[in-house]
Amino acid sequence: MKNDEWETCEAKEEDKAFEHLTKTLQQIEDARVVYIDDFIPEGEEESDQTKYFEEALGDGNVKLILGPKRYYATVKLPSRTVLEGQGMELTTIQTPNHAPSYEWTVSVKDKDNGAEYIAVRHLSLDGNRRRGVEPAGGSRSSCLTFHGVKYGWVKDVFAYNSTLHGFDVTSTGLDYHYGGDGTVDSGPSQYVWIDGCKATDWIDDGFTTHHSEYITISNCYAYEPNSRGNANGIEIDDGSRHVLLSNNYSMGCYGGIEIKAHANSSAANNVHILGHISREDTRSYNFRHIGHHTGDDPDSKTAYHITATNLVALHPNKKRGFQNNTDPRALVISAYTNVSITNFTAIGDLSYDFGSTPVIAIQYKAKNVSLNGINVSRFHNASDAIIVFGGGNRGDHISLSNIHIYDAGKNNGIYVGSGHSNVSISNVNAINSKGEGENAVEAATNSVNISGVSVTGYKYAVRSGGVAYKEPITVIKGGARIASSTGAPSTEQSIILASTSSPTASASKTMVAASSNSHAVGEGAIVLGSAGNSRAQGPRSGILSSSGAVAGQSGGAFSSMVLASNLVANPNGYSVVGGYGASGNPSSANIKWELNSRTGTVRAAGTLSSAQTFTDYAEYFESIDGNPIATGLLVTLEGDKIRVAEEGDDILGAISETAGVVLGESALYWQGRYLTNEFGGIVYETQTIRTYDVDEDGNPLPTYTEEAVELPLENPQYDPSLPYTPRSKRKEWNIVGLTGQIHVRVSDSVQPGDYVKANGGIGVPRENGPVKVMRLTKAYDEDKGYGVALCFIK
């Protein structure tokens, strides 16, 4: 049965129980009605009248009516009894001055076995603590206590000046049950309804329950207790279960509502609050299981199931100094699991210094906590509006949604402490009207989900993992399938975007996007804009704009990529390929070009075409004098360097600006970086490359992956710290066109069809040779001393 269905069944059961109670009480009233004043002799109006109440009540099955006056007695109610006054302002029962400290103003007659069908209504109870007594321990010394009452109704009763509690619904026996967490006391009170009652000037709690079930407290008011200890307005204490609190008020208490247990008892559980206003209480709403908070404490076995809706915390403060001047809070959740808070409003007093403490706190192993529809405003000098404490005893699985913060939290609107990985924050509106806020949302780790943050007046919108962002960001942890009809992102770091036909992202850090029937298999693999059962199999492999492609190998071939291809398989690592196959299975035989990142090799099955009209093939040569040589001059070799060619020199080529292919630039690094063999070939060796994993915060982990790679052997003389300038930026290096169509400086006697030789680097006619004039492109200029001809050099 689902949780909401169970709660509905529980509510129906309580409705039937109270309907049964109402009918039974009516039967009691119809059976026997007596008046207490008929039993009190004349002259006994201010003496201890306890014995007269005993006589009037007898063995029960009676309705006892009190007059509009004060009575002095400790009243013990048998089963099937109605005790009724004329109104809480008219009828009062006061504990007698000489009564022992353990006495109750009103209680059941048989505290060991309990009672049934009890109603107390329309009167006040004066506990007469002023007679100088102290609490006697256990369940003693309260104004009204129900021990093991089944079917009880307390209506329009005012309890005050109590030595312990105003109202206490508990199990049978005089001492509270402390049998350990997970134990259940015998003889619980059941089906008790306290409605329209008030309590003030008590020692411990205004309204409380212990080891009882199916209890309702509604339309009640608890205010201004005696200023000492844990003075709560309403406390649902040890072993209580299935409790409903509805439309109650509290003021000036330590806790407005406290749901709790002591360390050696079961926690109150399955408690539901429907509307409450807490005014100027120190801790408006406080949920905890003492002794189950620290990292060394055992987790609570019983602190489960709290729901609360439509709660107000108005001006929480510590002005009265409860609990050794404990810091105020609007809401504290500790040790409980499955807590749902909706429509919660906390309003501060701007004239009160909140003392650099948070307004709302989730802490001490609280789990499965949901805060939704939370309004926090006007808390002067509060450190944070909402804080989720971290550390070794942090909570877990916490959701904060639809949060509205206004001038609350000088440090943060919301703060999530260290160690959290299962916290979600969504739809936050945070305003600091003075512009003095630091962070609207701060998470100590990168693992907190953050979305929908809207901010005004904060220095930073979000701080995540120590990195501050002025504008809101979205942080989403866990695998995701977005805008996709099908698909399986199988890990926390895999995603499928805008894809169809059952794509999969099955390893860590994988993505399939804008694809169909495609699969990212290797760690760090991606598939983009692809189809046809394309598979990025190798680690860090990728497939883009392809169909039926395979990149890498399972567990190997790192950084393999396929681009714009059909039915192409790339089994090699650190390479990019493209190609096309018309039919069949993916194959490396369908590759048409390859870029090899390890060697810098480029391979292509087709034609390499230049988009320019450049027509010569050239190499870099160093000039013998270290100076640049002018374009168009013919040059010759002298050793391994060049100079301007003269009469009789063998012509190497001409200085060119139109080379389609240029070799020898050494553009990226020093030409001697890698060792070579005697023929100039680069020496390779197999090296094992180890890549260490990192955690969510970027810290290295002891785990790693390894791959064997053939890499060039580096020259020990190579110093990477030294700056390097490529040959294209150095004046002594010149581009020499060796073959093809090249522009050459020529003399005034050169004509198309001539062969030329060099004279001071300028072409002059000769009978034959490697340089032939195709056409003159610029007439001879006498001032410059040359013309320009397009020549073919072979």
CATH of domain 616-668+726-793: 2.40.300.10
How do beta strands 304-314 and 269-279 pair? parallel
Number of Cβ within a 10 Å radius of residue 717: 9
Query: In the chain, what is the straight-line distance between the N-terminal and C-terminal CA atoms, in Å?
Result: 91
Between the alpha carbon of residue 703 and those of residues 75, 133, 507, 692, the distances in Å are 73, 68, 16, 6
Alpha carbon of residue 116 to chain centroid: 50
The dihedral sign for the CA sequence 195, 196, 201, 206: positive
Q: How many of the other CB atoms lie within 10 Å of CB of 667?
A: 12
Instruction: Report CA torsion sign: 721, 727, 728, 733.
Output: positive
CA 152 to chain centre: 46
pLDDT at position 770 is 95
Across the range 293-302, mean pLDDT stands at 96
Quick one: DSSP state of residue 600? -
pLDDT of residue 324: 86
Residue 93 backbone phi and psi in degrees, to 5: -110, 125
Report the relative pairing of strands 733-746 and 653-655 from DSSP bridges. Answer: antiparallel
Proportion of the chain above pLDDT 90, given as a percent: 84
Is 438 noted as a catalytic residue in this protein?
Answer: no
* Whole-number pLDDT of residue 6: 47
CATH code 3.30.1360.120 for 514-604: no
Q: Enumerate residues 6+ apart whose C-beta is below 8 A from 235.
A: 204, 205, 207, 208, 209, 255, 257, 258, 259, 260
Task: Please answer whether residues 504 and 488 qualify as being in contact, where contact means their C-beta atoms are separated by less than 8 angstroms.
Answer: yes
**In angstroms, rounded to a whole number, what is the distance separating the alpha carbons of residues 746 and 742?**
12
Per-residue pLDDT reduced to its tens digit, 65-81: 999 999 999 999 999 99
| Cβ atoms within 10 Å, residue 466 | 11
Q: What is the chain's mean pLDDT, rounded? A: 94
Choice among 492, 619, 622, 732 that is catalytic: 619
pLDDT beyond 70 at 786? yes
C-alpha to C-alpha distances, 51 to 46, 47, 56, 77, 424, nearest whole angstrom:
13, 11, 9, 12, 63
Q: Can you tell me the distance from the alpha carbon of 550 to that of 543, in angstroms, rounded to the nearest whole number?
A: 8
User: What is 1-177+186-226's CATH superfamily?
Assistant: Single-stranded right-handed beta-helix, Pectin lyase-like (2.160.20.10)
Higher pLDDT, 465 or 11: 465
- Can you give the residue ranges of every domain in the chain? 1-177+186-226, 248-477, 514-604, 616-668+726-793, 673-723
Q: What is the pLDDT of residues 547-566, one digit of tens each?
A: 999 999 987 789 999 999 99
CA-to-CA distance for 143 and 159, rounded, in angstroms? 6
Residues 100, 272: Cα–Cα separation, whole Å: 37
The stretch 279-304 carries a mean pLDDT of 97
| Structure confidence by residue, pLDDT tens digits, 670-692 | 888 889 999 988 898 888 878 77
pLDDT in tens, 177-209: 999 999 999 999 999 999 999 999 999 999 999
- pLDDT, tens only, 483-533: 999 999 999 899 999 999 999 999 999 999 999 999 999 999 999 999 999
CATH 2.160.20.10 applies to domain 248-477: yes
The confidence score (pLDDT) of residue 12 equals 67
Q: What is the pLDDT of residue 9?
A: 58
Percent of the chain predicted with pLDDT > 70: 97
Given this chain, do its domains 1-177+186-226 and 514-604 carry the same CATH topology? no
Question: What pLDDT is attached to residue 692?
Answer: 75
* Whole-number Cα distances in Å, 149 to 9, 234, 425, 591: 22, 19, 45, 86
CB 152 within 8 A of CB 195: no
